Structures are given as C-alpha cells and as structure tokens.
A and B are shown apart, each in its own frame.
Chain A
Amino acid sequence: MREERTEMSKDDDRSPPLDLRGADIAESSSKTRNCVTGSGHVTGMNPMEFQAPYPDQVLENVLENVLQFLTSRRDRNAASLVCKSWCRVEALTRSELFIGNCYSVSPKRATARFSRVRAVAIKGRPRFADFNLMPPEWGAHFKPWVAALGSAYPWLEKVYLKRMSVTDEDLKHLAEYFPYFKELVLVCCDGFGTRGLAVIAKKCRQLRVLDLIESEVADSDMDWIGEFPESGITCLESLIFDCVESPINFEALERLVVRSPSLKKLRLNRFVSIGQLYRLMVRAPQLTHLGTGSFSLAEGVAHGDQEPDYESAFAACKSLVCLSGFREIATDYLSAIYAVCANLTSLNLSYANINAEQLKTVIFHCHKLQTFWVLDTICDEGLQAAAATCKDLRELRVFPIDAREDSEGPVSEVGLQAISEGCRKLQSILYFCQHMTNAAVIAMSNNCPDLEVFRLCIMGRHRPDHLTGQPMDEGFGAIVKNCKKLTRLAVSGLLTDQAFSYIGRYGKLVRTLSVAFAGNSDRGLKYVLEGCPRLQKLEIRDSPFGDEALRSGLHHYYNMRFLWMSSCSLSPQGCREIARALPRLVVEVIKDEAEVNRGECEEHIDDAFDILYMYRSLEGPRDDAPHFVTILH
C-alpha cells in the first residue's frame, strides 16, 4: 500500500501529464465547483476569480485530496456509495479502472463516469472457455473498448487484458491513440499476431512493459523484435514473450537488451537456445526475473567443449529472484542455476520434464522459495524434497505431464501430505493427481491454516478415496471448515451432495468455486447458493443440477460476476425463468457447435443447449453475440 502511495505522488496525482495539465486543472476546478448545492443552484465560476468557498466545496476539495490516496478498488467502491458528492469525487480521483466482465458495462458508460483514468484492466471470456468447452468467436472483443478509451483517455498509460480477443488492428490503435503508453499486459488473449506486436514495438516510444502471458500469438512471419527503435536507450523494464510460438530475431533482441539498462524482467520463448541465453545474461546481469527459453542447444549444435560458462553467467545475476522457462530442457545444464537458487523466491519448472533426483539437486538450495510450479514427473519423492527445504512456500502448482484420466499418477496423497507437513505457510495450491485420500486432504486443512486457494484435480472422474473407497466429501469438508481464509476452491473426485453441504455451511468467504462431475441432486447446488454469501464466480460442468437448484440462487445472482453451467440438467424453460425474474441479468445459452456439426447430438431440439452462462450487466443483451449464442428474455 505504501509503495503505491509514493508512486502516485511521484507521478503527481491523478492528472494527465504536465503539458496537458493547465487546461485540465481549470476544467477540474470548475467541475468540483459546478456542484449542485442544496438549493439546486449550479455555480459556474471562473476558477481565477476569488470567491468564498461554499462549505460543500471545501468538503469536496478536501475529499478530492484525500481520496486520491485510496488505491484499493474495493475501498473506492465503498466510498462511492456514501453519497452523490463522494461518488462524484471518487470518480474524479480513480486512476485505475478495473472491469471484471467486459459485458457488464459498456465502454461508453465506464468512460463517462471515470474521467481521469490512466490504467485499465479488462477481463473477458469465462475461464472454462480455456478448456475448449465453448466454440471460439464467443466474443470479448477489445475493439469497442480501444475506441472509447482512445477518445476518453488520451493520456492512458497502462492496459491489462485477460481472456480478451485482441486484433492486430486493435494493437495498432493502441499505439496510435496513446502517446504516453507505457505498459501492455495480455494474459490468455488471442486474435493478434506478430504483426500487431511489431506496431507496438515501433510506435510506443515510452514502452516500459510488454508482457505476453499464456496468450496465443499468431505467426505473421514478422520480425517484431526488430521493430523496437534501433538507437538510444529504451525505458524497457519488462519483456515477457515466452508464450510466443514463433522464432525471433535474436541479434535484434541482443541489441535491444544492451540498450535497455532498466530491464528487470525478461522471459524468452523456446526459440532461444541456451547459448543465446548466455549472451543475453552477460549483457543483463541486473535482471530480477528470467525466463530461460528452451534451455537446450540450438538445432544442429553439438554438445562440445567450447561451451560458455553458464554457471558464472547465472552467478553474476545477483538480483535474480524469479526463474522460469526450461521449455525444452537439456538436463545436463540444470546445474548452471545452482548459484542463484538461494535467492530465488519463485521457480517455475512446469515445462521441464525432470525426475526426482534432478529436482533434488536444485530444490536443495531453494530455502527462500515462495512460489513453485512443477511437473508431476518429480513424483512424490520430489515433493517431499521440496517440503523439506522450502519452509517459506506460499504457492505450489503441480501440473501433469500426461493430462489424461487413465495415465500413470506419479504424484499422490503422499506428496500432498508431505507438502502440508513441511510448508505450513502455504496459501495457494493447485494439484493434479490420479489418486487421493481424504486423510491427506484433511491433514492439509489442519497443517496449512493460511490456505486461501485450494484446487485439487483428481483426474479420474468420480474417483473415490483410493484407500477407503469413500467419496471425497470429508476431505473437502475439512478444507472449508478449517481453512478460515479460503476464498477459492476447486473440487474433484467422487463427491456427493454432502460435500456441497459442507461448502455451504463453512465456506463463508468463498468467492470462486469450480465443480466438475460432482454431486447427486439439486440439493448440492442449493446448499452452495444458499450458504455462500460471498460467492462471485461459480463454474460447474457435468453435474446433475437442474432448474430447481438454479432457482434457489435468484436472491444472489446480482451479487455475482457470473455463473457457468455446462452439461448439467437444466432446461431452456428453467433458464428463461431466471432471465424473466432478473432483468439485469444477461442469460446466455450456448450450443457447442462442434458437436452439432458432427451430427452427434441424438435429437437436435431447437432449444437444446450445452452451456448456460449468465452475468449481471447494466447494458442488457450484447449486440455482438455469435449465432450459437442465444440470449434469453
């Protein structure tokens, strides 16, 4: 919090940049003075004239000066509800705009309310769309936003998008509309390619951050790295492109790194070989975050004796705290990173197929590790080693090398138990496995009281506790009961309505819940909708919940960001009822087109659908819905 405050005052509060400020201050003063006083009289004054200020005015000026320090958007939302005056002033002083669902409010409405925004974050598609459950082209287009932002906030500096469709054209507009543009972060986005990146690189002269995270970037055969200005120092601080699945111009990248003394974060894609990595590292020893690229030799290069001293290159990076990459790891080179392990707070090996022995050599040094992402190839043994060393661990993610239901399960309850015993400060866990026991989950609920995020994915559907044969109800029940800070939960395995009864009874802080192949009847969903007052995001697939259960959430849907239900027992009529009862809810029913095309639906009733996706909105039905989406009313 303190850090944010100094940043704000350093950038001189919430006004646009200096050369635009003169005009704006006059405007803003008259804005605050153009308040409707108790008598309904609007005062429009020349700000240069002296006039004894109204009491209201004084209050608003004071308020403005105070509210500018409020950074938490939840606090701001609360402040804006106090009275109209506070609402107005809060709107004037909000510099970071967060839109959790791009369809909940229109660009026009958002920009009309908040006039001095410098940073925008927008989220689009529902998360389950990541798993191919929905046809692409569903929506979440950035286009209408970029146009509105362009006219409302010419001083815009930062754009953060998650699960949005962004085109090259949109990126071109970003570069054109915003001369002070500094930060672009695209997470899980698609629709653009290297052509769009080239425009950003070329035109955004003040670019500090270009982060592409888990986004799909099409290959337009364009050398986008080469489009960064060729001469002069850049202000680049972060360049993350590990998800870009096309080769880059390495020489241009090397020159760019040399010209970027402020560069702290660099995450390379798998087309950068370890030899090239070396060359970059020796030119950028100031890096704090490094994604190593392939971490193996380039094609056609043999393992020879003239190899660079990778170990010393790593040792020279004394500020390195976050290490990732290892996309095509040649394990012989793993020892090069030992020197930095002692300082690491974050290590991502989730693309590296390494075994327990190989992991041990690394993890042994990582005493300060707080975030650890890894593949299950390290087995329970590897997890035990991590548990023994990483006493400060806050976040663990264990991904499967073989993401199928019936694959071998290298990790199990043994690993989970070990982690729970060794890493008492754990706050967040995502764990994929084939087999689990209630006992291990209960143990974690007792050993790790700080847990806020518990996501367990037992990959075999409906799999019970493999030692007792019991459903996994008791395990998840213990999590919601004992982990008093729990806000996010994902359940799996064989689960009866009892599990949901526990969630409803104890999960009072749960905001996000993911359910798949679970429950027996409507009662399950009812427990949750009636019991969890903080629930905001609910995603359910392939579970036997029907119209009656859906009805039981009517009192709560306006408080939620969205509800997703696919392959459940809903009927079109049931969904229509909800749409009629709640006019401010947009109720979309979606047909999974791919199924229809292959003629695999038995009887294709016109009304039949696969997915219900509903969300509150101030705008009513969206006008960009594709043909496979029907909005009920």
Chain B
Amino acid sequence: MESKVAYENGLNLKATELRLGLPGTDIESEEQALSSSRNNKRPFPDNSKECGLKGSSDDAQHSDHETAPPAKAQIVGWPPIRSYRKNNLQPKKGEAEASGIYVKVSMDGAPYLRKIDLRVYKGYPELLKALENMFKFTIGEYSEREGYKGSEFAPTYEDKDGDWMLVGDVPWDMFMSSCKRLRIMKGSEARGLGCGV
C-alpha cells in the first residue's frame, strides 16, 4: 500500500540485519535496495503539475533502458488493479509443487481473523504490504534495534517453540518455516517486544 518509506528503509537495513549467512553474500539485493531508494518519488499533490511535462516522461523512458531495472517505488493505486486480484494471483503449480503455508493472522481490536499463504510472498516487504491492505493500517519503519517505529502496530508471530517474535528479526526463509501464526499487536505490548530483543 502506501508505506513505501517503510519498504525502502527495510530494504536498506537488510544489510545490517541479523542473518545466518555471511555478510556480503546478498550483494544483489543490496544493490537493488540502493537504486530503488534513488528512484523513490513520493507523489505529493504539488508534484502532479509536473506529471504532464516532458521531465517525467523522460524518467519513464530512462528506466525502460536499464538492463536490470530495480523495482521502482510503486505509486498508490497504480496500476488500477484491485488488491484482491493482486494478492490472489498464485504462482504456477506443477505436479510436485509444495502446498501453501497457511497461517492465521489476527489483529488486536479487529473482530475477524484472516488466513494467508506465506508462500505467496517473496519477502518481508510484500508480506507487510499485504497485511496493511488486509487490515487497513500502516506498519512503522523497521529497525533491528527498536522494532517498528512510527505506528502503534507491530507485526509479530508465534514460532515453533511457542515464542512470540517480531516479524523481520530472522531471515525470510527461516521465518516461513517457523511461523505458526501472526498477530498484529497494538500499543505498548508491541513496543515492548521491539526493545531489548
């Protein structure tokens, strides 16, 4: 949804995230993160005046020529595809495809549960975006030390050992295999989880 800033920061901090792999093994995604933060253009109402002018179109053309274009910052609601459709396009399934990893998601204060398939998401940014869409809220900026800042919500999950962890603390693959359920915590409980972990 709209919290591109969160993603960009999330991607930038990935280099400093606690990982099991050796530092420097994920060079490609670091480069991508850097170039996508350069392209980050927030569509303020004021800027719309420039939309029709050549400057912007040049940008669009320029990005077409890049050989391996990094993901451009996505404009809210563009292209005009309903989020239901975006969230529900399943990857191709052949014969021996692994089945989905379905986990329940609850949000403090919301009366209903949701279920999502973790396999659909390629990483934390997509998962967080989907959660935002689903429950109509915003997640703050993630930092390794302080958890999610800037929002009263924090996404947490229960792992195989029954412990409640902050989403984003472990590498994505590890998260996918250990996550049993998700809970979007609200308020002080959320903040408490972020500190001192």
Q: Which A residues lie at the B interface, using CB under 8 A? A: 128, 130-133, 135-136, 188, 193, 214, 216, 218-221, 243, 245-246, 270, 296, 299-300, 303, 327-332, 350-351, 353, 375, 399-401, 403-406, 432, 457, 459-464, 494-496, 514, 516-521, 541-544, 567-569, 592, 594-595, 597-602, 608, 610
**Chain B neighbourhood of A132, CB < 8 A:** 1-2, 76-77, 83, 133
A303: min CB distance to chain B, Å:
5
Interface residues of B in 60-85 (CB under 8 A from A): 60-61, 63-64, 69, 71-72, 74-85
Contact B60 A463 (CB under 8 A): yes
Q: Can you name the residue of chain B whose Cβ is closest to the Cβ of A217? A: B112
Q: How far is the CA of A330 from the CA of B93 in the complex (A)?
A: 5
Q: Can you name the residue of chain B whose Cβ is closest to the Cβ of A350? A: B85
Contact B84 A214 (CB under 8 A): yes
B33: min CB distance to chain A, Å:
16
Contact of A597 among B43, B92, B113, B138 (CB under 8 A): B138
Contact B52 A544 (CB under 8 A): yes
Q: Can you name the residue of chain B whose Cβ is closest to the Cβ of A377? A: B92
Main secondary structure, interface of A, reads loop
Interface residues of B in 69-118 (CB under 8 A from A): 69, 71-72, 74-86, 88-97, 99-100, 111-115
Q: Can you name the residue of chain A whose Cβ is closest to the Cβ of B86? A: A403
Known: A133-B76, A405-B79. A595 touches B93 (CB 8 A): no
Classify chain B: how many residues form its interface, as a range. Answer: 35 or more
Q: How far is the CA of A568 from the CA of B43 in the complex (A)?
A: 11
**Chain A neighbourhood of B1, CB < 8 A:** 132, 594
B113: min CB distance to chain A, Å:
5
Contact bitstring B40-73, A, C-beta under 8 A = 1, else 0: 0011111011011100110011011000010110
Contact B71 A404 (CB under 8 A): yes
Give 14 A-B pairs besides A221-B113, A567-B43 with Cβ atoms closer than 8 angstroms. Answer: A130-B80, A131-B83, A132-B133, A133-B76, A214-B84, A220-B111, A270-B88, A329-B93, A353-B91, A400-B79, A432-B81, A461-B60, A568-B45, A598-B150
Q: How far is the CA of A459 from the CA of B100 in the complex (A)?
A: 30
Q: Can you name the residue of chain A whose Cβ is closest to the Cβ of B133? A: A132
**Chain B neighbourhood of A296, CB < 8 A:** 93
Known: A329-B93, A353-B92, A463-B60. A598 touches B48 (CB 8 A): no
**Chain B neighbourhood of A514, CB < 8 A:** 80
**Chain B neighbourhood of A594, CB < 8 A:** 1-3, 138
Q: Can you name the residue of chain A whose Cβ is closest to the Cβ of B58? A: A462
Contact A461 B56 (CB under 8 A): yes
B18 at the interface (CB under 8 A from A): no
A–B Cβ pairs within 8 angstroms, 25 of them: A130-B80, A216-B84, A218-B112, A219-B115, A243-B84, A246-B115, A270-B90, A403-B86, A406-B64, A432-B79, A459-B79, A462-B52, A462-B60, A463-B57, A516-B78, A516-B80, A517-B51, A518-B52, A542-B51, A567-B45, A568-B48, A569-B48, A598-B5, A598-B138, A598-B150
